[in-house]
Every structure is written in structure tokens, then in C-alpha cells.
Amino acid sequence: MTAMIPREPLTHSAEDYLKAIYHLTVSGGPASTNELAQALGLAPASVSGMLRRLAEQELVLHELYRGVTLAPAGRQIALRMLRRHRLIEAYLVAHLGYTWDTVHEEADRLEHAVSEELIERMAKVLGHPLEDPHGDPIPGPDGSLAEVVYIPLVEVNVGAETEIRRVNTSQPDRLRYISAAGLTPGTRVVVAAHEPFRGPIRLLVGNREQIIGHELAAMLLCTKSTGTAARG
């Protein structure tokens, strides 16, 4: 049975907490108070107080010294906020001339203000997209979410061809660099060389060569490689 969203309205802050907990626990483990404080830019003492309130509302499961996870009702709200955020990003890029490096903060503000009706109208105009401009999956209106497992570009073998599908950063300067380098979602690349000791990675993008740092390559999530690429 699907968990019911609490009738009493949540504050914007509480919604942000639930979304942050989702991001920190999506791989399966609990989030610590310190991790959550760092993600939200808050003091650990403030976070502890909010977690107690969310636990009282049965939105999170908080075990002392073990961390916090989302309860079914909290997960439902987090996915609703993710749907809002990612659809707003997609709409801003597709219809209002925003670039993918400028939409994150705008969507953070708008996701709390727009109505469900407006969100669903945006989805219809966009053709009910499955991904946002960064390649992140958009939850369905029923809260369903198909999380596809991709691998970081740094783990793709030398000589293999792969496709970039997601970009795991919202920092504008990094998004601008990735875009200028032509490494946006949907781009196929061949890994030509890995320098040792977390050094740069040399890629072939079509007929040109592109070199990127190890840290940035770790943010580019790709399909599993298709083996050694043919040389032309």
C-alpha cells in the first residue's frame, strides 16, 4: 500500500531535508547528521532538531549513531519534490532559454511555489520527459522512479566506447566547462588513455581529442562500455 502524504503542510525547509536525505541515501546506506548538515549548509545541532521533528511525523527513521533514512511517506514527498525540480529544469531549458548551468537554483526556488496542476501541464507540454537536462531521471506522477545504474567515466577501460548519460554535478562553472568540452548527455566517446595516479583522461569525441581531469571524469556517468572501439 502506498504511504499517504501527511495532511499538514510541510515547510519548505522540511521538504529540502527530505530531498537531501534521498540524495544521500539513494545508494542504500543511511545518512549521518554531519553529512546532512554539510549538504544543507547547516550546523549539526540544527539538523538534529529537524530530524527529531521529521521522525515524530513518521517521515524519517532516525537511529542514534547509525544515521537517518526515509520512511515510506518521506520518500514519497522527496520523489514528488524531485519530479517538480527536474521538470522545472527541463521546462526552463526547453521553453524559456535557460542553459543547463543556470537552472538548478531557479528550480530550487520554484519547486516549492508551483501547483501540482502547473507541474503536470509542464510535463504535458514537454512530452512527459523521462530525464532532465543533466540526464537525471524524472519520477513519474505516481512516485515511480526508474534508477538506471551507470558507471563513472573514470571506470571505463582504455580503448572502449561509451555514451555519457548523466552529469553528477550542479555547480555552474563545471557544467559550463562540460558543455564547452562537448561532453553533455548523449555524447559518445572513446577512452584513449588514462594517465596514472588519478591523472587526466584523454578522450576521442568524434574526430577530435579532448583531455579532462580525473575529478571531472568521475562526475560523468556513462553506459557500460561496448568493448574496444574500431579504429578508422
- Grade residue 1 by pLDDT with cuts at 50, 70 and 90: very low
Q: Residues near 228 by Cβ (< 8 Å), separated by ≥ 6?
A: 159, 160
Q: Has residue 232 got a pLDDT over 70?
A: no
Q: Has residue 22 got a pLDDT over 70?
A: yes
Q: Has residue 115 got a pLDDT over 70?
A: yes
- 220 pairs with which residues across the strands? 167
Which CATH number applies to 1-147: 3.10.450.50, 1.10.3720.10, 1.10.10.10, 1.10.150.310? 1.10.10.10
Q: Residues near 162 by Cβ (< 8 Å), separated by ≥ 6?
A: 153, 156, 188, 189, 191, 222, 223, 224, 225, 226
What's the pLDDT at 146?
Answer: 80
What's the pLDDT at 63?
Answer: 85
152-180 tens-digit pLDDT: 999 999 999 999 999 999 999 999 999 99
What's the pLDDT at 24?
Answer: 95
202 vs 162: CA distance, rounded Å: 14
Residue 3 class from Cβ within 10 Å (0-12 exposed, 13-18 middle, 19+ buried)?
Answer: middle
- 151-222 is classed in which CATH architecture? Roll (2.30)
- Grade residue 66 by pLDDT with cuts at 50, 70 and 90: confident
Q: Which three cell numbers mark 31?
A: 545518512
189-217 tens-digit pLDDT: 999 999 999 999 999 999 999 999 999 99
Q: Has residue 227 got a pLDDT over 60?
A: no
pLDDT, the chain, mean: 91
CB 174 within 8 A of CB 115: no
Domain ranges of the chain: 1-147, 151-222
